[in-house]
Amino acid sequence: MRQKIVAGNWKMNNTLNETKELLKGLKKELKGVKLDNTRVIIAPTFVNLQHAVKKTAKSILEVSAQNLHEAKNGAFTGEISADMLLDIGVNVVILGHSERRAYFNETDEALAQKVNTAVAKGLDVIFCFGEQLEDRQNENHFSVVESQLKEALFGLQAEAFKNIILAYEPVWAIGTGQTATADQAQEMHEFIRGLLAKSYDAKLADSVSILYGGSVKPNNAEEIFSKPDVDGGLIGGASLKEKDFSAIVKINLIG
Ligand code: PGA
């Protein structure tokens, strides 16, 4: 069933001590908050995942990785496998973030392999995609998004979508303070749901959570989350501040 989700992508931030502090702060801010068909996910860096899993065991927070390698194991220096994540209690992974695509050359083809591995292992995937500024200016944003989804994701069998959370993140809105308007987010999310309905069926389309990401803050989350096809957000900068992230979580629970 479609869920409301707020996920925090911590990126390459927070030492172990800073992770401890932020987790403490988050647990305090979110104390007493009850989840109702909703999820709250945080994605610390690899080296702090194990600590985060331990410290969030009795909280509403779930822990996600920010990447994985598609191979089972082997000679892939510096990489992390799905089994390694599962082994320490991490059941969610972010894949396809625009920073991975831009700085680490992750192509749709490579992402399809990562997604297939993650889903085969039973991990939930927060799959990110979205157009560049130039694509939007040239009015190519719908076709770019369609191609990213078709190439990396639509090879999956329908039942795999129970493990998929979509995160539409227009690249021009990430870390720029320039968020998409709520109407722009809704328009794209509706389009994405339409693609799911066409490629699979309407029931599946209705069951998949689609998050918006890109400069979501406490002061704009309410308007964005109020849109019918927006099921929550993937939060970068604001997820590093316990008060901001908790405020966004609470807005999503109410909205
Ligand atoms: P931002 O990042 O909230 O800082 O724009 C979002 C993301 O990269 O997922």
Give the closest residue to 106 by CA, choosing from 85, 79, 74, 83: 79
Separation of alpha carbons 212 and 235, rounded Å: 9
pLDDT of residue 1: 78
Provide φ and ψ at 213, rounded to 5°: -135, 145
Contact of 110 with 25, CB cutoff 8 Å: no
Per the document, the length of the chain is 255
Residue 132 tokens, joined: 């560049």
Active site residue 189: no
The closest residue, in CA terms, to atom 9 on ligand 1 is: 236
Active site residue 190: no
pLDDT of residue 255: 62
Query: E strand or H helix at 128, and its extent?
Result: strand 124-129
Ligand 1 neighbourhood includes 216 CB (under 6 angstroms): yes
* C-beta neighbour count of 198 within 10 angstroms: 12
Residue 161 tokens, joined: 């979508």
pLDDT of residue 254: 78
pLDDT of residue 36: 87
Of ligand 1's atoms, which has the minimum distance to the CA of residue 128?
Answer: 9
Provide φ and ψ at 133, rounded to 5°: -55, -45
pLDDT of residue 177: 83
Task: Identify which of 216, 219, 220, 240 to mutate to test ligand 1's pocket (most ligand atoms within 8 A of the CB).
Answer: 216
Contact of 80 with 65, CB cutoff 8 Å: yes
pLDDT by residue for the chain (255 residues), tens only, comes to 799 999 999 999 999 999 999 999 999 999 999 998 999 999 999 999 999 999 999 999 999 999 999 999 999 999 999 999 999 999 999 999 999 999 999 999 999 999 999 999 999 999 999 999 999 999 999 999 999 999 999 999 999 999 999 999 999 999 888 888 999 999 999 999 999 999 999 999 999 999 999 999 999 999 999 999 999 999 999 999 999 999 999 999 876
Separation of alpha carbons 212 and 255, rounded Å: 14
